[in-house]
Chains A and B, each alone.
Chain A
Amino acid sequence: DAGITQSPRHKVTETGTPVTLRCHQTENHRYMYWYRQDPGHGLRLIHYSYGVKDTDKGEVSDGYSVSRSKTEDFLLTLESATSSQTSVYFCAISESRQGNTGELFFGEGSRLTVL
């Protein structure tokens, strides 16, 4: 299994509080991604990173920010959590090359409940 861990795995928080999810990899892969998974929607990309301090938005980035200060860590922050952000969040890593998106390796997910 790819060395990728997410923390926390489960979190319950209240509306308006900040939340940070952490993704840590030991594979030294260049690309890291945050997806959210909701029933009927599959996985939707929130943000991704193509290197240290290099990030870009995905299709559902509103209300989320990310940071990548080291190759191995990719943080997802909800500045002020809302109930619509209740979801399962997945981190993924990839070593894509030559303009092709390669295989993604996923973490086990972080289940976030916003009350």
Chain B
Amino acid sequence: SQQGEEDPQALSIQEGENATMNCSYKTSINNLQWYRQNSGRGLVHLILIRSNEREKHSGRLRVTLDTSKKSSSLLITASRAADTASYFCATGGNDYKLSFGAGTTVTVRA
């Protein structure tokens, strides 16, 4: 079974708005990662947050992690048309494997 579950499944926003998606997971982790997938392409790594970190930023991305609630959120600020993609969270343990959720599809309207 999948470790992570993203919410919502789909999100449609206007260009310039912020997009927030959430990820919940079930077991303890070493880190949590977010990936983006453009249509018909492979996944691209966005950001990694370790279990002892609470927040991390990368450009317009902000990731939070709450290990007590087993949840994470990804915020994309000032969205652009190029942000239209599917976003996946993935949890990593100490077994060198990543377990992915089903993803959130984000559509940014011009």
- Chain A residues near B (Cβ < 8 Å): 31, 33, 35, 40-45, 48, 50, 58-59, 90, 92, 94, 96, 99-109
Contacts and interface: CB of A to CB of B under 8 A. Distances in A.
Contact of B45 (A41, A43, A105): A105
B12 to A, nearest CB: 18
Contact of A107 (B30, B42, B99): B42
B95 A101 contact: yes
B58 interface: no
The interface size bin for chain B is 20 to 34
A43 B44 contact: no
Interface string B72-92: 000000000000000010101
Interface of B: 1-2, 30-31, 33, 35, 40-45, 48, 50, 88, 90, 92-103
B88 A104 contact: no
Contacts of A100: 30-31, 50, 92, 94
Given A90-B42, A108-B41, A109-B42, A101 B97 contact: yes
